[in-house]
Amino acid sequence: LRSYLGKDVTGSLRSFSQDKGGTLFIGLVASLTALFYRYTGREDILFGTTIASRDHIDLSDQIGFYVNTLVLRNGVSGRDSFSDLYDRIKASTLEAYTHQRYPFDRLVEELDLH
């Protein structure tokens, strides 16, 4: 499924996100979370996103593709404003980033979720 956001919508979301001290990515996650909540009524929305980083010093000179899956879990309440939702998603996303080094496939294995 593909979608396109025009320059005016993208600019407004980017401006809103910057005013809130966040990024366009967090704004998009917040928007999709609100949309999925509206369509499903579920208050627990999860997104999987890829993240690539070479935080460990031993990896800095290696050649190759390092990628991990990061799950973003977002709680939604119909009583919240979009601004409140954005703030909560920003906080939970930044918290998830602190665990980005832990390999997702190992987590699935250790929790016996496969």
Domain ranges in the chain? 7-110
**What is the pLDDT averaged over residues 61-73?**
81
CATH architecture of 7-110: 2-Layer Sandwich (3.30)
**What is the pLDDT averaged over residues 10-33?**
96
Q: Which residues of 89-104 are buried (b: 16+ CB within 10 A; e: fewer)?
A: bbebbeebeeeeeeeb
How confident is the model over 83-107, as pLDDT tens digits?
Answer: 999 999 999 999 988 888 777 788 8
Helix (H, G, I), strand (E, B) or coil at 65: coil
